[in-house]
Amino acid sequence: MRFNGRVAIVTGASGGIGRATAARLAAEGARVALVDINTDALTAAAPVGGGAHMTYACDVSDENAVRDCVSAVKERFGRIDLLCNNAGIICTAASITDIDSSEWQRVMGVNLFGVAHFIKHVAPVMIEQGDGGAIVNTASVAGIRSGAGGNIYSASKAGVINLTMTTACDLGSYGIRVNAVCPGLIETGMTKQVFDYARASGKEDRLGARCELRRYGRPEEIAAAIAFLASDDASYVTGQALPVDGGNTASLNLPGMKY
């Protein structure tokens, strides 16, 4: 029960890693605001853990909508202690020469600007409370190395990693910690096409084969890492991007080959 008495906002909470994170925080005592643009799925995702919660439909790429969301959460629960920026979308895998500028704006608007918007409006609440806080952003191994996502998605997640470091420097003097998790291959709604294709073509055994653990991950495993970074167990950790990827980024993408 590491989060008793604490209030958390989890974006992208209608499914996958976001839903698992909301459930994990609630199970450990947090009051959780589940935020997502998908209203129907968001309703289905709650309640989580049986604790106090609220749902809020929000387009994270719209700063005014984010501001209103943060105000609504503070009005409902009186404070905000934890922010888990998990909302994200994928992009086309087209070559850099074939990507339309509108696709750059769409993906960056959610994956990078959405994170920035929530930090911008939650941080002043945490500062005013005067007792610190924790922010955990969901980046990706695609933000660390190539081959894990399309051009725009990878660039957006690299941006999240850098934003994590710079905002950790901005907010450290207030006792607010900012970290990121970088998931590897996880079975979620976002990766459904990859898993469906592999299973339909008899290649399921190859899923996660490029990881040192030789398997893909589960949303609950990422949620566990997020819960650690959000908790007092990580009280001296800030500005870090933690790969949770079965060892994928530890190698040359060929298991067992280090040289």
Q: Which of 153, 174, 236, 259 is catalytic?
A: 153
Read off φ and ψ for residue 10, nearest 5 degrees: -125, 115
DSSP 196-223: HHHHHTT-GGGTTTTSTTSS-B-HHHHH
174 tagged catalytic: no
Cβ pair 257, 213 in contact under 8 A: no
Cβ pair 107, 150 in contact under 8 A: no
CA 117, CA 120: separation in Å to the nearest integer? 5
Neighbouring CB atoms inside 10 A of 205's CB total 10
Cβ pair 181, 226 in contact under 8 A: yes
Point out the residues that are catalytic: 153
